[in-house]
Structures are given as structure tokens and as C-alpha cells.
Structure 1
Amino acid sequence: MRQIFLDTETTGLDWRSGADRVVEIGCVEMEDRRLTGRTYHVYLNPERDVGDSERIHGLSDAFLADKPLYAAIAAEFEAFVAGAELIIHNASFDIGFLNMEQERLRRTKVSVLCPQVIDTVKVAKEMFPGKKASLDALCDRYAINNAHRTLHGALLDAELLAEVYLAMTRGQESLTIGLDDAPTTTASSLVLGGERRPLRVLRASDLEVAEHEKVLADIGKKGPCLWLPPQEAVPST
């Protein structure tokens, strides 16, 4: 399954009237729960002042002045997302803005190009009732390093959301995950006639081991990683 983590930054909250516009789009692609390395990222000239929103995303009028208009990137953006399942934090906000931008150009709405959407705010509230569901709160919950997120940024937030979503849906609570012959995840399903059923042991391939080590190395670059040996102290000279 092809999925895309998507985030936008805007000049404000009013997409219904078209008063506010999109200033940044960030997308991260995933296929079959593996990040492909493909991304889509663009800054946009909103054809209006950014106003107070600059304190949220840090994008000034001067910075955005020479950036393309949405009309110039609409086709390439559509090509990147079309047919994928979108995963968005507070999806109604981003979809509302993108639909508005598409409708201004009389182009197909994003909600039609990508009818399947997962809202991770709703997922988080169902998993953790009464708890904060912001992206920062979820990063804290899953020990994802977001210290570099001093301002909102569409691509950065999409990348963090990908890490959060994979952590939220990894399903490691079940000892039988991934076993083709396990109909349920209960302990009783592993016992037949008073004897424990043998479990299939699936060994990781060399390629999977290499990919695993690469993921750990990437995590280690962002901060301490429990699955990596501690770095030896470098003697002072």
C-alpha cells in the first residue's frame, strides 16, 4: 500500500472563504510500511501577507516573495499524491486548505484524488483518551527526538509524523504478529490438546538486517538510541 504523510503551513486558519493561503507543503512517501526516501516539498507565494502566522512557521513575506504560486506546482503535487492514502495530523485542516487551492484553479479536489485519509489526531485520541494529541505530545510519548522542531515546518512535521505513526501502529504487543498460521493473538490459540504449538521462526534476510542497522544509525544521529552500544569516550589530548 502506498501512503503519504502530508503537512501544510498556511497564513492563517480561514480556508473556507479563501482569505488564507498555503505557504508550504511537505510530503513523505511510504510503501508497505517502509519509507521510500521519496519526498515532495515546496514553499509557495501566498499572494498576500503572512501576518501573525510568521511566528508559527518562520516564513516571512520577503522569503516567500520569489517562490512559485500554487498554480505553478498544482500538477506536480497532484502527480505525487494521486491514489495514495494520506496520513495527516488534523486532516480536516490540511485537506480543507488543499481543496480550496485546487478549487481556485478549477482542478480536482485532493479529497477526490486521495479519498482515503487517516487523521492521526483521531487515532491518538482513541488510543489515549483524555491525553494530549499534539504532534509534540506524541513525540514525547514515543521517545521521538523533536528537539530540532523549534518552529512548524511542513516537511519536518511530515517526517516526524511518519515516525509517530509507525510507532503507534507497530503492534509489537502481540507475540504472534507476522505469523501466517496464527488466527488470533491470544495465548489459548498457541495451545492445541494441552500442548504448545511450535512457532515458525522467521529469520531476517541480509537485506533486512542491513536496513535495520541503517534505521538504528539514523536514529543514533538524532540522539541516544537504546539499541546501539554507547559511544566510547574519546580521550582528550
Structure 2
Amino acid sequence: MALPLLTALAFCLVISTGGSQGFTVEPAQSDLNVHIGEDAEFTVRASSAISSGNWTFKSKAIVTWIGTTPLILAEYRPRVKLNNTSGSLVLRSVSESDNGDYTVTVTEVGGVVASATITLQAFELHRQSYPEPVHVFPIIIVIMIAVIIASLLYPCLTSALCAWFIAKKICRANLAPRTNTVTDRNVGRDNTLAANAGDGSRDYENISGIEQGRRSNAPVGDPTYMGLKLEDRSVYSELQR
């Protein structure tokens, strides 16, 4: 009876030891890349049920739990969400200061401990800048308005130029006869003077030689004869004698 009892106890011990040595916790990904401002999800899977555990970052336990009761570090309370059944963790609104290694340590119901590490890398999202689009519609409107104004002003400008040319021609036509009339008047006056001069010469030629000599001897610049004709000067000279 003693031998079968010892054999059963040894078999149970082997099974219990083998089960404890097989407990593990695996991360869904060892490197977690997240944009700054987004939430980081540290997902882990344990090979069996866990009773307790903790998450540490830079040697600080940011959250510790036993059963269903979590204990969260004060500075992380607004940002940490824990799944105490699986041991997964959510860290909200990450920044560059959150970059680094996060280690989870869990204990199964039988007391076996396992751990895993996930590295967080939070980076800034670089948005590609595009050139501002050119608004073609206002340019088209301006061009259309300019064309309309030009089409309205073109007839007015054409009419104004035509009126200017017509007025210029009329002025030239009105000035031409007046110039001819003045010229004709000057020519007539010159002809009259020439005729009078000719008559005087003929009268002077008909006078006798003695009379011509007297007339030629009359002082031209003498003020006594001012205003007298040539014949009157001779008579006036005879009277003075």
C-alpha cells in the first residue's frame, strides 16, 4: 500500500512543477510606435490566469494590482487604463517624455512569475505642406469686367476721334478763304499804289524842264513844305520869291 501512495504523490508533484514552469506572458509587439498625442496600447497575453502584477517605467511602478483592485501612481491616474484580467495597459496622450521601456510582471494563481518588455517610441507627425491653390475664378471675373468696359468705351473713343478730325477739317476750310481775301486785298492795294505812282510819274514828265528843275531844287526835308504836293511846293516857292 505504501508504494502506490508514494507513486501518486510523485506524479502530482511532477505535473504541478511542469505546469508552473510553462507559465509565460507574451507582448503583442515588442516595439510600439505612436504619434505624439495619440494613445499607446501595451497588449500582453498570459498563458494562464493571473492573480496580480505591475507595470514599471524607468524603475517606477506606474500601476500595481492584486485581483481586481489597481493602485495607480498619482501622476498617471488621468492617463492609465488597466485590464487586470489580461494585464494589458493603455497610456493616453503620449509625448516624447513617455519614450522608453515598459515592463510588465505578472503572477499566476499558482504563484509563478513571468515578465515581458515593450519599447515605446512616440514621434511627431510631419504633415506635408502643399502650396496654396491659385484662385482662378477672381482673375477670370476681373478679365471679363475689363473686356466689357473696353467694349463699351471703344465706340465712344472712335466717335470722339472722328468728331475731332471733322472739326479740324472744318477749321481749315474756314481759314483758307480768309487768307485768300487778305492776300487779294493786299495785292489790290499794291496795284493802286503802283498806278498812282505811275500817274505821278507821267504828270512829272509832262512838266517843262524849268519847272522840273524848280521842283527838284525844293528842299524835301524842309518843314515848310510838309503836307504839300509837289506842284503846290513849286507854287509856294514862287510866291515866296
Please confirm whether the aligned pair reaches a TM-score higher than 0.5, indicating the same fold: no
TM-score (norm 2): 0.20
TM-score (norm 1): 0.21
The higher relative CO (CA closer than 8 Å, separation ≥ 6) is in 1
Larger radius of gyration: 2
Q: Which has the higher strand share?
A: 2
